[in-house]
Amino acid sequence: MANKPTKKTTAKRKSTKKKPMQFADGKDHTAYQTKEEKVAEIKRLEKAVGLSRLNPFKTEDEDEFEEKIASMNLTDMQALAVRAGVFPSGTRPILRNKLKKAFHAAKIGTLSSPLKPAVDPDSDVAKSIRKTSRT
């Protein structure tokens, strides 16, 4: 019978504390802890530099965008598609769907306005909804 091979054991390494990261630009990158502070600082800098960052669709409102592309002809939609980075091929309905998808993709991550309520808050229907949601 052959001898069993023995496993070699290694000594445990001492854990070292991680040093704080130093950046080449010398800035304090921990100054903005919350997302709101970061967004406020970015807006302040954009305003100071003079950047008005609009998406290629020139609107953030979905209803306004729907009206805009409904009134466009195929050539205008193709020009908008090129500006938005969408390949401008296909018929008018196909291009409209491509533009809608690109609009929603561009809208992700941007600050959105509050939604309009579907029911008037002072109506009887809204009161009955509130009653049923409380129980």
Question: For residue 78, is it within any domain?
Answer: yes
Question: For residue 70, is it within any domain?
Answer: yes
Share of the chain above pLDDT 90, in %: 27
Question: For residue 3, is it within any domain?
Answer: no
Question: For residue 19, is it within any domain?
Answer: no
Q: Select the more confidently predicted residue: 32 or 129.
A: 129
Question: For residue 102, is it within any domain?
Answer: yes
Cβ atoms of 68 and 61 closer than 8 Å: no
What are the structure tokens assigned to 126, written together?
């809204």
Structural domain harbouring 76: 62-107
Task: Read off the pLDDT of residues 95-109 as tens digits, 9 standing for 90 and up.
Answer: 999 999 999 888 775
Task: Read off the pLDDT of residues 40-96 as tens digits, 9 standing for 90 and up.
Answer: 887 787 677 665 556 788 777 788 889 999 999 999 999 999 999 999 999 999 999
Question: For residue 99, is it within any domain?
Answer: yes
CA 56/CA 75 separation, integer angstroms? 16
Whole-number pLDDT of residue 18: 76
Number of domains in the chain: 1
Q: What share of the chain is helix, strand, coil (3-state, %, to 5)?
A: 45, 0, 55
